[in-house]
Structure 1
């Protein structure tokens, strides 16, 4: 079964992730079925809107990589540290390259991507994730990181199943529907299970700590919604060339 054909009844093999996702159900639906996503899948998303989103996402991924690097520092096992380090490598050397490639074909250079100013929604989201790691522990950071990784996996798989491969945004859809990315989501699911149960035991939802972790997950999900809204709105800030 390919990544795009997986049925996500038990999301990526992680009951903990599934519980967080269920507790944020309304926001999760708004995130993964946002108008930006639906227009992207249908191929009706204006090209300039998509390119603005990619420019901001390029900046986001840089800070996201910093957050995964912080996960190396916050890790308690070599396995956690190695996995987090591999995510940093994948973000910096693979996923960000997708943005450079697509934007380059549209005449937007990597230098222009680097010069782009961050929209306020981008600032809010990335700094929230980094603060989760700085002020909290490994679990706080993973809960804040999970919605982006897993949500994009679910979105990519669904759009591919629904035939979005025929849209102008096929390269984007194929990236997140691919077996490689779906495998990454499964690995993150395993990381979540191992990290949470290793620290909180076999009944983590029964502990007081659970509510704060679930809240971090839901807040990050809401910030993902804001990121799509930012994409649809279009740019509000000019590049900082000073």
Structure 2
């Protein structure tokens, strides 16, 4: 499924091979879809994902400083706003229903899988360039878009309706389309029309694939909370 997330993403996704399937069809994801995921696993994941999104927002803020064009800066700044002021609210609302405050979420201890993933993304930005950072950020953005579109929309009485319908919804799907446009434009600006023939392409594939592998580990972590 490529949907309409641009042309760079599907090429990187295809280069990642079976690890992309491992990520987007993970047992955690399938449990979300059919409603059988233990609530304990979901809440444990949400707490860690709240912490993850804090670092993810920082990485997108870093992208503002790495950008070479004003439109890139605007797109990255808009993503920071969406993460901090909108997506985090889903986690806060769901966890509040389970008796966890936002302060509890913000001060939660990071799981090693979370540390590994978030610090990898931030290091990609600090040690690399704008494209390195986008390649490390994209699996999360587009993967959740593909997962949401495949699983949803679902009826309101589905146990994970809020989560699924958020990522299946028009607003998040537009985020994916906008991210695809940003990535395509950034690649064209820096690598030209023959991006896949440049030495940088292999590094971008490696960044993308590594981040996808870390997404798999993140789902593994989520399942462990329900054991």
TM-score, normalising length: structure 1: 0.91
The corresponding residue for 1:188 is 179
Aligned residues: 227
1:41 to 33, 36, 48: 33
Aligned residue runs from structure 1 range 160-199, under 5 A? 160=152, 163=154, 166-199=157-190
Unaligned runs of 5+ in 2: none
Counterparts in 2 of 1:83 and 1:90: CA distance versus 1, 3 Å: same
Q: Is the 8 A contact 1:43 1:164 kept in 2?
A: no
Aligned residue runs from structure 1 range 68-87, under 5 A? 68-87=60-79
* SS of match in other structure, 1:12: coil
Counterpart-to-counterpart distance in 2, 1:61 and 1:102:
15
The CA RMSD measured in Å over matched residues stands at 1.5
2:87 to 76, 84, 95: 95
Unaligned runs of 5+ in 1: 1-7, 237-242
Counterpart-to-counterpart distance in 2, 1:131 and 1:13:
25
Q: Is the 8 A contact 1:41 1:167 kept in 2?
A: no
Deviates more, 1:110-119 or 1:136-145: 110-119
The corresponding residue for 1:5 is none
Q: Where has structure 1 moved over 3 Å in runs of 4 or more?
A: 163-166
Aligned residue runs from structure 1 range 1-242, under 5 A? 8=1, 10-160=2-152, 163=154, 166-234=157-225
